[in-house]
Chain A
Amino acid sequence: MIKISNLHKQFGSLCAVNKINLNINDGQITGLLGPNGAGKTSTLRMLYGLMKPTGGEILVNGVSAVSDPQLVQKLMGVLPDDGGIYERLTARENIEYFGRLHGLSEACLNANTDELIELLDMHSIEHRRSAGFSLGERTKVALARAIVHQPKHILLDEPTNGLDVMTTRAVRQLLHRLRAQGRCILFTSHLMHEVENLCDRVVIIGRGSIIADGPVSDVVAEAGVSTMEEAFVKLAYGEGVANV
């Protein structure tokens, strides 16, 4: 459970996130949508404690991400939007590095890594050095290392970006599985069909504020259109653009 209250972030005169209030529930996949520059990434960065909010509070399982970011990081797994992996390490070593930093025991680390390699179908790259990996392979490694410690809360910034069909399906299955385990999942995406298929709930933000919030069907109905894409365009960019 993540509780965001009055979250505010100011970069100079630019207001990136404007007093957002939002609860993200366990056992659900929540999609965070918004045009580029709407404040999605800034919000995520504040959630995982690498960016200090100008004001407001974030509670993850009751722990403040503002005053105690390290404790919150223990409860979280994060796939950042531009996660560099270490090119001279193999896929498995990359995953193990982060697992060890989370303090997993070797037995637990091995079991978790094996499972993720199986789930994401990474056997062919497991012992290969990451230099020269395709975008999809990199994303798989970054995703696996983000959740190797089996966190209760999972934040994913565009997890299916650039992935082929089979990999996208593997990631989707993984997310369903994590949801079934009762985890709290928040992800951002620009792919509307992805959002429609995966999310129990969508939150659309624009210019730092929440524009729409609810299950996909509700948001689509509220916008008075027939697809998620149309709803998004109409809500995020306004009536004029939607009719073009």
Chain B
Amino acid sequence: MFKQFWVIFNKEIRDAVRDHKALMSAFFLPVLMAVMTSAGVLLIIKSIDDAEHITLPVAGAEYAQPLVQWLEEQGVTVTLAPEDPVAAVNDQSLDFVLIIPEQVSEDIRSAEPSTLWLVMDTSRQDLMSQARTIKAYIRQWSSQVGGLRLLAQGISPQVAMPVVVHEVNVADSQKLASRVLGGMPLVVLMAMFAGSIGLAADLTAGERERRSFEPLLINPVPRNVVIYGKWATTMLFALVITVITLALQLLVARLLPLSELGIRFDLGVMEILVMLLIIVPVVFMGSAIQLFVAIFARSFKDAQTYMSLLVIVPMIPGVYVLMNPGDYEMWQVAVPLLGPQLLLVDLFGGELPSIEASVLVITESIVLGLFVSRLTEWKLRRETTIYG
């Protein structure tokens, strides 16, 4: 029986490897996925950069040199303001303009209260956080100068500061990392499902379409051995694609300037091993599901239609994971395909999942895989599958 399994496995592998077109498109997928994630992460980095980096045109910078210097120290890029600041902000060619009237230099020298003008469009909600930051910088400078003036009068500046608010940021950089990297497990699982679709369809629906099931099954081979041979082929194929996808995703995560997001991406050997320990059973189950779905199709083309729906299946829990980052309950781990993704998101964030959760996910995938392969075997026993 094992010898027959080996014969079928060998033949299917040889058959699959010779299908160059299908092979190329299957192995192009991981590369495409890597390009997609890189583009996605770079886009996030750019948008965060844009949000944090403030460019402020200043009119009359020469009248308040210390303030301008302070703003530059805070990371604001100070540029020259145009002739008509109000018009420039109005037609949105500039976001803000700070106007420093000539009077200010005189006021500062004589310690008189003075007025600056910040030209902005409050209807532009997207700029409000930048506007708040600019105003906060100016207020800080103002209170520093005020403090110095009080000191000059022999009064402690603290008298003028009854209350001070300190912000405590609890956003853990690794948590943020898992949020940014949360899409990667989904990408890996999708590559697994999409990459071996063609092969699974060829092994089952293709065999029905070519009417070669009949001669094959006239040989004294038990049906389950036929299924195991095809299953092992699909599994090997899916595993290779999945591991390549995973490796490229990890490489992308390592090469991208994630530190600019304050993310520390630093996976150890242990995390990668646990990832593989979770992915292999998922591949085991996923291949079984693919063969089962594909054997219902009478032709290769039909099979591809069914299977393209199958690619969407891991996306449903995947999107759920992206929308609900953070902790999860044990029942969520028990949901097929959702569980592995939750654990993988943890692992991408550098956190090892609990033993119970890992064991649950692994055994569940194996049991489901075996169950589905029995269903495929049942379908292959039906005369309508061979002759239909």
Contact = CB atoms under 8 A, between A and B. Distances in A.
A223 interface: no
Nearest to A85: B212
A97 B14 CA distance: 11
Contacts of A50: 214, 217-218, 383, 386
Interface stretch (B127-135, B190-198, B219-227, B230-238): B219-227
Nearest to B212: A84
Interface in A79-127: 80, 82-89, 93, 97-98, 100-103
A196 B219 CA distance: 31
Interface stretch (A24-32, A69-77, A175-183, A200-208): A69-77
Contacts of B218: 48-50, 73, 76, 78, 80, 146
Given A50-B386, A89-B14, A83 B211 contact: yes
A103 B5 CA distance: 11
Interface in A141-178: 142, 145-146
Contacts of A97: 7, 11
A192 interface: no
B154 interface: no
Nearest to A73: B220
A84 B215 contact: yes
A158 B141 CA distance: 98
Interface residues of B, number: 24
If over half of B's interface residues share one DSSP class (helix, strand or loop), that class is named, otherwise mixed; here it is: helix
Contacts of A45: 387
Given A50-B386, A83-B211, A88 B8 contact: no
A15 interface: no
Interface residues of A, number: 32
A51 interface: yes
Contacts of B207: 84
Nearest to B223: A70
Contacts of B11: 86, 89, 93, 97
A141 to B, nearest CB: 11
Nearest to A77: B218
B301 to A, nearest CB: 17
Contact of B15 (A78, A89, A145): A89
Given A73-B220, A102-B220, A84 B4 contact: no
A83 B214 contact: yes
Contacts of B222: 70
Given A70-B220, A71-B220, A74-B220, A80 B215 contact: yes
A38 to B, nearest CB: 17
Contacts of A76: 218
11 contacts: A50-B386, A73-B218, A74-B220, A86-B11, A88-B19, A89-B15, A89-B18, A101-B8, A102-B220, A142-B215, A145-B215
Q: Top 5 nearest A-B pairs by Cβ distance?
A: A84-B212, A84-B210, A73-B220, A101-B219, A88-B18
Interface of A: 45, 48-52, 70-71, 73-74, 76, 78, 80, 82-89, 93, 97-98, 100-103, 129, 142, 145-146
Given A73-B219, A145-B215, 13 more contacts: A49-B218, A50-B218, A70-B222, A80-B214, A88-B14, A89-B15, A93-B14, A100-B7, A102-B220, A103-B4, A129-B18, A146-B215, A146-B218
